[in-house]
Structure 1
Amino acid sequence: MPSANYRALLRTPGAAAFFLPASFGRVGVAMTGTGIVWLVHSRTGTFTSAGLVGGCFAVAEALGAPQVARLVDRFGQTRVLPPVLLAHALAVALLVTLVAAGAPAAVLALGGVLAGACVPQLGAMSAARWAALLRTGRAAELPSAFALESVSNEAGYLLGPVLVSSLAAAGRPVAGTVLAASLSVAGGLVLAAQHGSAPPPMADGPTNDDPVAVREDRSLLRGEVVLLMGLNLAIGVFFGAMQVSVTAFSVAHGAPGAATPVLAVSGCSGLLSGWLYGLRRWRTAPRVQLPAAGGALMLGTLLLLTVGSPLGLGLVVVLTGAAIPPLLVLFSVLTQSTVHQAVLTRAFSWLGAASAAGSAAAAAVSGRAVDAFGPAGGFAVTAAAAAALTLQSLVGLRLLRTTEVQPTGN
């Protein structure tokens, strides 16, 4: 049966032991940003302050994640993750205390920065473990492993915000934030305890007898990585504009409550497509698959411009939602095949930061587009992002001639 692909992966010694706690912890990570917004709003009564603190948290996470990942690549997950988790727990506790004490918005924003700077990047660490586990002799299974990662991430970002919002709606915003931090820390601690599957730490400085490491040391400045960052920036713009545009569309059609089920339909479509994508072994090269998946996303975004009802929107987001997981899997496959393992966690984190930056910028840009042109203006931003992604994929066909970089010795 095709699902044997996933069973074989999870039966690999050590695989389930790191994948499951990382997935568990990612639910907490997905809850944190939304939880902070609800927490601050519950005390201040204004979304201006809540948005300020939430925005500071997001920016700090985007900038801090690659720096934490640099330490992880150099010293190893099992040494770096515990102090990062401790710092995150203390920062969240400080923010909760500041909110309870009625601190000014500027002080709360500083608390948001501290909490965001040390968010545990469990997804990047889990992906790096798959790459290390399967790199020798089982590289053909990496797309299926990254498909599992995509499904886990999609599930986390479906469940997490719903859970924390439900607690906030029930009058328990503090419980939502504390639960988010608890899930992140618990999942991270269990992950850190899995020494056997952790990629070996490698020093930043190359040795004289290791020419591969000399080339690798500057690998994040390579054209392939810049291209992958551009692709992740575009997908981030799509994410940010889509959330704003779907909400605006629902409000404009007199059904503000429709936004939540429409976004849920998109997420469920992504879960299914990510699962199905990983079930088969694709003979077509990832760099060739990439423009095809981008084209499917672009088609869906163009259809968004034609819908006239929440029901029609729900049908179209099935297509756009289904196009996302294959793209994310391909980004991961291309990253691990063009970046040396000594900087792989850092590379995954930088790509995530690019996506987060695109999402944050798109939220502002699409908001203005909606104000000027209605929901169609917001959907035009998603279409532009999908077109930019597809164009970059086509331009990068020659650049992304993937030859797996061989690992260096310790």
Structure 2
Amino acid sequence: MSLTTTPPTTYRAILRSPYAARLLTGTLVGRLPAGMVPVAIVLLVTAEGGPLALGGLLSAVYGLASALAQPVKGRLMDRFGHLRVSGPATILNATGLLLLPWAVSTGRPAAVVGVVGLAGLCTPPLETGLRLMWPLVFPDPAQRRAALALDTSTQGLIHIAGPLLVAGLVAVQGPDAAFAAAAVLGPGGAALALTTTPARIRQTASTSGTTRPGRLRSRGLAPVFAAVAGIGFTLGAMNMWAVSLADRHGMPLVPGLLPSVFSTGSLAGGLIFGRRAWPGSPTTQFLATAGGFCAGLLPLLTTPSPAMATVLVAVPGLFLAPAIASAFTTTRTLAPAGRLGEAYGWLILALGTGHAAGTALAGPLTDAHPLVGPALPAAGATAALAVLLLSAQRPALAEPRP
């Protein structure tokens, strides 16, 4: 008779584990500016009399700068540790956010773009850092999977709470207050996560190891990144489609309601996914959840009314968090030793660039051809599924790592 027991995998047990709630809360609060700043930039520019298009462009610059820097920051974390990268990045990001209202008030485009770009490039890699620390908090694979599912599921709260907080602050105090709040929340949340024992242990483990020279190489990672980019494309295109629906039907609440319902579905799906062990390898689970995500988007091709569309998006939302969680788990199995932070950075970059591409293409295409609106989100999901299906037979995708 074995004396060993299996650790419980309920979310209550996960959150009651040492450091888990603190790491999750700190990371969510520290990343809340990611949901605040893009909206705050648009409102700041328009409040200063600038065009909406300029606000949208600067918001996109911030998001792209943040995404493009992720692999570099991930590799630096692999080499120098979490604290030495996220700590300075948090301070520089907060400084940039505090300077942004001043830069916009000067009316100098170069100054504005420079400050926005600096703030975006210095966004602290808290998401990557959290996922590097989960194995230290949960050595048991089942608990680690549940923690990752909980972590991934709650990410949508950033993009729900962030814009709502900005709207409230702008209404009461003006756009400057939104940037001041983001500059406080980011470092505050980061400090909560970075001062934990797992963060210090991870720092010691990173600096005592070595990072392989050269480029990150793994035959299986490229299709994973490409598939995640397709999912990101879907998210960007869906947001623009929601705006188009609101304009054509005179329903201004749709751009807020549709993403909220989609994010709520994602939260529910992620929590369900993390409650039990599912059959198959991480790659198989990624393929299955990507398939469900794609299938859930197909009813939107019937060009439903705004109200029906808002209800229908909950179905693909159920598969979003499980698909992203499976992508991170698959990346962990395929990344070379000592390069996991960089691999996570590339995964986040793929999601961000796909989102930007979906937003950029969906705007003009949906305005010119309204029927294209619901087709573009389905096209991104279909591309993601096709990449995974075509690469499913590669032996590299089945290489396990304990």
Judge conservation of contact 2:87–2:124 (CA < 8 Å) in 1. Answer: no
Is 1:82 aligned to 2:87, yes or no? yes
**What is the total number of aligned residue pairs between the two structures?**
393
Q: What's the TM-score once normalised by structure 1's chain length? A: 0.89
Is 1:106 aligned to 2:110, yes or no? yes
Post-superposition Cα deviations, 1:134-180, rounded to whole Å, max 9, x if no partner, equal 3x5x1233321111111221111211122113323445111112112
Cα separation, partners in 2 of 1:152 and 1:341, compared to 1, 3 Å: farther
Which of 155, 158, 161 matches 2:160?
Answer: 158
* 1:66 equivalent in structure 2: 71
Q: Percent identity?
A: 28
Offset, 1:371: 2.1
Post-superposition Cα deviations, 1:231-251, rounded to whole Å, max 9, x if no partner, equal 121111001100001111222
Is 1:120 aligned to 2:116, yes or no? no
Which of 245, 249, 259 matches 1:253?
Answer: 249
Which of 96, 108, 113 matches 2:101?
Answer: 96
Q: What's the TM-score once normalised by structure 2's chain length? A: 0.91
Distance in structure 2 (CA, Å) of the matches to 1:305 and 1:343: 41
Post-superposition Cα deviations, 1:199-244, rounded to whole Å, max 9, x if no partner, equal 24436995xxxxxx76xx5673212121121012111100110000
Bigger mean CA deviation after superposition, 4-13 or 245-254: 4-13
Judge conservation of contact 1:335–1:347 (CA < 8 Å) in 2. Answer: yes
Runs of 4+ in 1 over 4 A off after TM superposition: 203-206
Q: 5+ unaligned residues in a row in structure 1: which ranges?
A: 207-212
Judge conservation of contact 2:218–2:334 (CA < 8 Å) in 1. Answer: no
* 1:184 equivalent in structure 2: 186
User: Residue 220 of structure 2 aligns to a residue in which SS?
Assistant: helix
AA aligned opposite 2:30? G
Task: Summarize the alignment of residues 306-325 of structure 1 with structure 2, pairs less than 5 Å apart.
Answer: 306-325=302-321
Is 1:386 aligned to 2:381, yes or no? yes
Distance in structure 1 (CA, Å) of the matches to 2:128 and 2:20: 15
Judge conservation of contact 2:245–2:254 (CA < 8 Å) in 1. Answer: no
Judge conservation of contact 2:265–2:317 (CA < 8 Å) in 1. Answer: yes
Judge conservation of contact 1:269–1:318 (CA < 8 Å) in 2. Answer: yes
Cα separation, partners in 2 of 1:3 and 1:238, compared to 1, 3 Å: farther
* 1:129 equivalent in structure 2: 133
* 2:3 equivalent in structure 1: none
Distance in structure 1 (CA, Å) of the matches to 2:86 and 2:287: 36
Which of 314, 325, 329 matches 1:329?
Answer: 325
Task: Summarize the alignment of residues 189-228 of structure 1 with structure 2, pairs less than 5 Å apart.
Answer: 189-197=191-199, 198-199=201-202, 200-202=204-206, 220-228=216-224
User: Residue 46 of structure 2 aligns to a residue in which SS?
Assistant: helix
Task: Summarize the alignment of residues 224-303 of structure 1 with structure 2, pairs less than 5 Å apart.
Answer: 224-303=220-299
Task: Summarize the alignment of residues 324-403 of structure 1 with structure 2, pairs less than 5 Å apart.
Answer: 324-340=320-336, 342-374=338-370, 376-399=371-394, 401-403=397-399
Which of 20, 26, 46 matches 2:31?
Answer: 26
* 1:5 equivalent in structure 2: 10
Bigger mean CA deviation after superposition, 8-17 or 314-323: 8-17
Bigger mean CA deviation after superposition, 148-157 or 164-173: 164-173
Judge conservation of contact 2:234–2:355 (CA < 8 Å) in 1. Answer: yes
Cα separation, partners in 2 of 1:32 and 1:113, compared to 1, 3 Å: same
Offset, 1:11: 3.3
Distance in structure 1 (CA, Å) of the matches to 2:174 and 2:209: 49
Offset, 1:284: 2.5
User: Residue 129 of structure 2 aligns to a residue in which SS?
Assistant: helix
